[in-house]
Structure 1
Amino acid sequence: MEDFKYISENGYLQPYPDFPPEEPKDLCNSDYSGPFNFEVFVDPNGLKNPWEYSPALNKIYIDIKHKFPINFSVKSEANAGKLFVRVMPMFEEDRYFHELVHRCICHEQLQDPLNNGSGERRIGSFKFHFAAVQGIPKLVAQHIIRCDNINARYFGDKNEGKRLSVVIPLSGPQAGTDSVKEFFQFVCKNSCVGGMNRRPIQVIFSLENG
């Protein structure tokens, strides 16, 4: 990833300045592969997976903190430059369309174990353990979705009425594959009061350029 420059904020690496705008220009929850044949899919369920995916319903059932894989594929010979994937949660019901999806007050507190900034990351065959004494940035604590990609950048602020989203650079697939796998996790429960309040959500994956 030598094409990117990074700054560090409490253990979170943030690329700049080639990322897309903080908010998408258009919001759409309809499937559209576009000129780059962009596809998003989930691996078939394994026997030991802590999550369940229903292809018929296109829904994933998972508890808080468990990681799940999402595969991204772009099949085009066009020169698109640097590509990014934006991951944005939205409420599924139209009556809540304009409301922001964010964590509940309890899980958003920086004292919450999920906000202490510690954990592990894997690069190739190497595993790195890290710890950020000051924990994660306050704005990241608002997000219900996190990505294991060390280059992920978190946009939005519920206090300013801006939708929350995670943006990651889309790298090329490894040899022998035609897709890129990224791992995500939910860090708030659908049943949490003051957050999602048992309202179903949908996660929008959009392909963008810088």
Structure 2
Amino acid sequence: MKHEIMTSLEVATCEDDIVNIDLNTIPDEALFQGGIHDQVDIGVLDDIPYIISDVSNNSNNSFPLGPRGPPPRKDDPGQYNFSVEIHSKDTHKKKFLFSHKLNRIYVNMETDFAVQFNWELVDLAVTQMYVRATVVFEDESQAEKRVERCIQHKLCSSDKGQDRVVSENVLRSSRPLGTNDVQYCGHPDDPDYWYSVLVQLPKPGREPCTHAFKFVCKNSCSTGINRRSIAVIFTLESASGSVLGRQTVGARVCSCTARDMCKDEEAEGARAARKRPRPAQSRLLKKIKLETVGDLPVDAETLTLPPLEIIGAKTVKTGLEVMLRMMEQAAHFHKHDQLAADGYQRRVASLRQYIDTLDAKPTKHASE
């Protein structure tokens, strides 16, 4: 039995060529089980991603092709100044939160979260725009791997009979399946075709557009995301599939949104503090503690030095300054003995005067 809903289907290739497919040559099971790419024997289709989950639901729509291979991740507002906003301030019971510090949404599974898309209308010739949401792994070492739903959630009763391109995608539109302006893209049997959700936006205007999404798998699912960090790449696209803008938002699908967000923000703050360069510390002078030995005999004998021949005025001055400091310390130690203190002070003054005379003498150069 052949479908009578559509007799042909026009598909745009990556080079914007239009290929006409005769649906009467395709078995029923291929149309509704994701087999168009595999069943049609047309050479040009080798480069066409699988994007149609149910052709009967989208007979009047022309959607851009799904991306093949890891999508680019670098944020780029483009000429339309494209941006994405997620507001969670007024969320009931905090089922989803958004951390501006981490640029990451924390959301319960099966919880709708609204995403606002903003852009500036700079080209009046553009009559139709789309937003594509693609989930990727954040870690660069996992960047080549497609994000897929875990086995347990993929086989849940609510998804029985669903096309694999829908049931294996961790992200969904909050609108009912089969809605004309929502398309699920990807190829279940070819991991190089990445799963994405494509949303047709209202006709371009100056007002922002909002669309709600939901995750149908958790970060902790061992046979799926398996505790790896994920992000959602939102791209603004034209009807021909040209990317007009791109922004990435991190995501964590969990049960305790507030706890996990606070924990991650604290960890990020600690990492930033460790990376912050320490201010240069001023050089501190080491204090020397002077200690006196009370029970030892005090060396108070007065000695008169004989005439000595010493080479170098600096050498003489340095030696005399050492003697001066030692006698000053001894004088401080004997400050309560008036007789001894007077004797020290007299000799300290005499030695200091002699050192001053050395400073006053001009230095003779070797050439003289």
TM-score calculated relative to the size of structure 2:
0.45
- Work out the CA distance in 2 between the residues paired with 1:92 and 1:207: 20
* Cα contact 1:92–1:200 (8 A) shared by 2: yes
1:148 to 143, 167, 174: 174
- Work out the CA distance in 1 between the residues paired with 2:159 and 2:68: 26
Q: Deviations over 1:163-204 (max 9, x none)?
A: 111101111489xx8211100000001111111010000100
Partner SS, residue 117 of structure 2: strand
Unaligned runs of 5+ in 2: 1-31, 33-52, 240-368
Number of equivalent positions: 182
Partner SS, residue 193 of structure 1: coil
Runs of 4+ in 1 over 4 A off after TM superposition: none
Flag the 1:159–1:25 CA change in 2: closer, same or farther, 3 A.
closer
List aligned pairs for 1:96-115, cutoff 5 A: 96-109=142-155, 112-115=156-159
Pair 1:53-2:98 in alignment: yes
Q: Deviations over 1:13-51 (max 9, x none)?
A: 336552111216882222211011111111242151411
Pair 1:13-2:57 in alignment: yes
Aligned to 1:32: 76
Higher RCO (CA < 8 A, seq sep 6+)? 1
Partner SS, residue 186 of structure 2: strand
The answer to which structure has the higher helix fraction is 2
Larger radius of gyration: 2
Pair 1:163-2:194 in alignment: yes
2:135 to 89, 92, 98: 89
Percent identity of paired positions between Structure 1 and Structure 2: 28
**What is the deviation of 1:113?**
4.1
Q: Deviations over 1:51-109 (max 9, x none)?
A: 11111111011111111000011212312231111100000000001101010111111
TM-score calculated relative to the size of structure 1:
0.77
Pair 1:191-2:236 in alignment: no
Aligned to 2:41: none
Residue identity matched to 2:117: F
- Work out the CA distance in 2 between the residues paired with 1:15 and 1:145: 23
- Work out the CA distance in 1 between the residues paired with 2:59 and 2:139: 34
The answer to which structure has the higher strand fraction is 1
Aligned to 2:16: none
* Cα contact 2:121–2:204 (8 A) shared by 1: no
- What is the Cα-based RMSD across aligned positions, in Å? 2.7
Flag the 1:155–1:30 CA change in 2: closer, same or farther, 3 A.
same
Aligned to 1:5: none
* Cα contact 2:135–2:195 (8 A) shared by 1: yes
Unaligned runs of 5+ in 1: 1-7, 117-134
- Work out the CA distance in 2 between the residues paired with 1:25 and 1:75: 29
* Cα contact 1:147–1:183 (8 A) shared by 2: yes
